[in-house]
Structure 1
Amino acid sequence: MTNFVLVAGAWLGAWAWDDVAAELRAAGHDVHPLTLTGLAERQGESAGQQTHVRDIVDEVERLDLRDVVLVGHSYAGVPVGQAAEQIGDRLTRLVFVDAIVPEDGESALSGWPSDEVRQAIAETGFWPPLTAEDCAGQGLTDEQIARFVTGSTPHPGATATEPAVLTGELGELPGTYVKCLLDGEEPWGAAAELLKSDRWKLVNMDTGHWPMFSQPRELARVLHESVTAP
């Protein structure tokens, strides 16, 4: 039985996967959405980058999960990629959903214009959530935007600024990269490099950066097919 461990990006918790999880369970999978330290119902708990890596590894080990598909969306690609190295042969596949691909020694904010975010983190200790206006053009209905904005919580800043720690090459692991086309037509940076590996597959979705809200059924299908398609 495949065990999907689902980790959403910045500001979000396990709740963001409710619709996707329901579809995956209906397809016969076991599903374990995870809230990282300091977010959603865990708001107020302090966290650094390695705290979030440990959250994921601990969940897999606590539940003694095997045949694990680790799914990281957006920011969560950084801790999920590191956790994938640490769970060894428990891992069946790594899936990045429009995610930041971790690089050893680099933070989640490396490689893109982030001065404003870094300043906010320096002043408050948190990466502030997006507004409804920030979500425009991402294929979301007004209701979906309201759900995203209402459910978001400030993101612990250190998790975004501290460096990732990798000991190997993620390209050596079996993986799928899901590119959401309304958020850019091509994977870039470390994601583009990763997809040069013959162990990785690119899947495009014609939606925005938060497909768990905009196209949950389609995203669940993509995840299902990542482990069932020949």
Structure 2
Amino acid sequence: MLALLLSVGAGSCQKPKDHTAPAVRDRDSVSMMTSYGINTLISDSGVIKYRIVTERWDVNTVKNPSRWTFEKGIFLEQFDEKFHVEGYIQADTAWYYDQKKLWELRGRVRIRNVNGLIFRSEELFWDGIAHEFYSHKFSKVITPEREMQGTYFRSDERMQRYEVTNSVGSFLESDMGGESENTAPDKQKTATLSDTATTQQSQRQPAVRRAATTKTSQP
């Protein structure tokens, strides 16, 4: 009986045990700054060049490489030196790797420039060091004169000189330098580009074989 009372007394004197979760060691998961409802202007070399509109903006300087994250989508407007709108870029999700000056845009990427060119894809990279856009996914380019689409796209930042490979598109035959002198001005012919054309088709239309890579330059 005495031994039982001693054991009960000893148990009642024990301190309660704290149940704690393990420490969070992955500091990469924590953003240095998170902002909501953003509509702000961004300057470059003292000149305002962009407007960023986004629902959420996370800045993480610990991740390698460091980045800005726009998980709720982004709308980016570009200005010239006189603060005139030159075009816009929008996407469902975006990352900006500030040390690399590289934008990665994903999901319903749309671009429109001052010349009326429209770009559509599910992926686009914007290299601020090389000053170019590129995409390795299916992309479509629409201009007032032509429409092209392909699985690889590369362009300068102003979308004035661009390249579409593995392409399918249509434009006036006169754009290819193949218009005959006997062709009436009101009878505009249309040529179709496709890298999947058969050998027989390519023999009848030599321009088709050159359509695997299409380069366009605007003045």
TM-score of Structure 1 vs Structure 2, range by shorter chain: under 0.3
Higher relative contact order (CA 8 A, sep 6+): 1
TM-score (norm 1): 0.22
Q: Which has the higher strand share?
A: 2
In our comparison, the structure showing a higher alpha carbon Rg is 2
TM-score (norm 2): 0.22
